[in-house]
Chain A
């Protein structure tokens, strides 16, 4: 992974709760950002399903995390904090993109679009991905985030629970409900 050298020194919390120490140097923050940048990007792309938009949102969330790191009382929860920032930003972006798309393509009816020229399987796969994306969009936020995080490489239920700061049982419960909803929509 590439090195991130950030020139702006971060303001660090004078831990009112004693969680974050003054010694949490900007270097440490840089490392945290470097380590978690892929996580931010993947959460964003999971919501937006558009690499360019996801990169933009991930950048924004990393910038916010960098600038507001001093507000974080517990540095151990940085991953959870970053995921939540990214998820919120991605949801906001997704909604605005959807509104824009609806506005710009309201004249075009799906049945009027030309049929797919590719192989049937590819068309079917694309169609399935489209339906899957829409079904994901309709999930409640908590279930959606759990689905995305557990689908990421190397994320077990326990790790997802640690990231979100919830019990593993809660993650399992949300996963169960999310899968059932998706199955109903995609069946």
Chain B
């Protein structure tokens, strides 16, 4: 048997942790100094190796290990108590925020809401110029004069999205239209025949079979209709 194969077997025997080599290998070691030295060297190496590893892993366990684990457990438990103590405070803050929400709507509302708010400011001036003046002149009756049934029917014709956004429906008109509507309403109030003429088709007298029944025109204010100039919308 050549020494190279013997050495491979010796390495296997040492790596397997066998306390003694086989009889065949023992015989060779007795007769071969080179292999015996090799075996002793390898065995010493494995012994050093295992001693080294034992030295590493069998170090004394620090006394502080378990007390520190306990401390860390207590530390991790402590913040939870603190968080639980904050629950009522948080609840109070939430309630306060909810209560203050309506008044904060201007600041924290949607973009549409903010635009509407700006538009309201812009149209307020126009409204102040026209409607109160007309009301003072007796052209427009007071809000209380407007029947609830009319309001209901008006709301029923409005788009659902408009209904959702505001109780009071919104109709946007141009500035010229605003003036036109105001003028028309004042004329119609003073001259009801013009209104009747607008409501009925013009039929030549010789062709008419029935007399025209004139309707009574009563003053009307669409209280829930806010008239805004379109110019505000485009800003």
Q: Footprint of B on A, CB under 8 Å?
A: 2, 4-8, 33-34, 37-38, 41-43, 45-46, 49, 51, 55, 58-59, 62-63, 66, 128-129, 132-133, 136, 147-148, 151-153, 172, 175-177, 179-180, 182-183, 186-187
How far is A187 from B10 in the complex, measured between Cα atoms in Å?
14
Q: Is B45 a contact of A151 with CB atoms below 8 Å?
A: no
Q: Is B69 a contact of A62 with CB atoms below 8 Å?
A: yes
Q: Given A41-B61, A45-B59, A180-B15: A7 and B53 within 8 A (CB)? A: no
User: Which of B12, B52, B62 interacts with A128 by CB under 8 Å?
Assistant: B52
Q: Footprint of A on B, CB under 8 Å?
A: 11-12, 14-17, 42, 45-46, 48-50, 52-59, 61-70, 72-74, 76-77
Q: Given A41-B61, A45-B59, A180-B11: A6 and B46 within 8 A (CB)? A: no
Q: Given A129-B52, A132-B49: A148 and B57 within 8 A (CB)? A: yes
Contacts of B49 in A (CB 8 A): 132, 179, 182-183, 186
Q: Is B73 a contact of A8 with CB atoms below 8 Å?
A: yes
A66 (CB) vs chain B CBs: closest residue = B73
Contacts of A7 in B (CB 8 A): 70, 73-74, 77
Q: Is B15 a contact of A183 with CB atoms below 8 Å?
A: yes
Q: Is the interface of B mostly helix, strand, loop or mixed?
A: helix
Contacts of B12 in A (CB 8 A): 176, 180
A-B CB contacts (within 8 Å), total count: 114
Q: Is A42 a contact of B52 with CB atoms below 8 Å?
A: no
Q: Is A183 a contact of B42 with CB atoms below 8 Å?
A: yes
Q: Is A2 a contact of B66 with CB atoms below 8 Å?
A: yes
Contacts of B52 in A (CB 8 A): 128-129, 132
Would you list 22 pairs from A and B whose C-beta atoms are within 8 A, ordered by A residue? A2-B66, A4-B69, A8-B73, A8-B76, A41-B62, A59-B65, A59-B69, A62-B66, A128-B48, A128-B52, A129-B56, A132-B52, A148-B53, A151-B50, A151-B56, A172-B16, A175-B15, A179-B15, A179-B17, A180-B11, A180-B15, A183-B14
The smallest C-beta distance from A168 to any residue of chain B, in angstroms, reads 13
Q: Is B66 a contact of A34 with CB atoms below 8 Å?
A: yes
The smallest C-beta distance from A26 to any residue of chain B, in angstroms, reads 11
Q: Is B66 a contact of A176 with CB atoms below 8 Å?
A: no
The smallest C-beta distance from A34 to any residue of chain B, in angstroms, reads 7
Q: Is B17 a contact of A175 with CB atoms below 8 Å?
A: yes
Q: Is A151 a contact of B69 with CB atoms below 8 Å?
A: no
Q: Is A38 a contact of B11 with CB atoms below 8 Å?
A: no
B62 (CB) vs chain A CBs: closest residue = A55
The smallest C-beta distance from B113 to any residue of chain A, in angstroms, reads 48
The smallest C-beta distance from B87 to any residue of chain A, in angstroms, reads 20
Contacts of A129 in B (CB 8 A): 52, 55-56
How far is A33 from B56 in the complex, measured between Cα atoms in Å?
22
The smallest C-beta distance from B82 to any residue of chain A, in angstroms, reads 15
Q: Which 6 A-B pairs have the closest CB atoms?
A: A179-B15, A46-B57, A151-B53, A4-B66, A38-B61, A180-B15
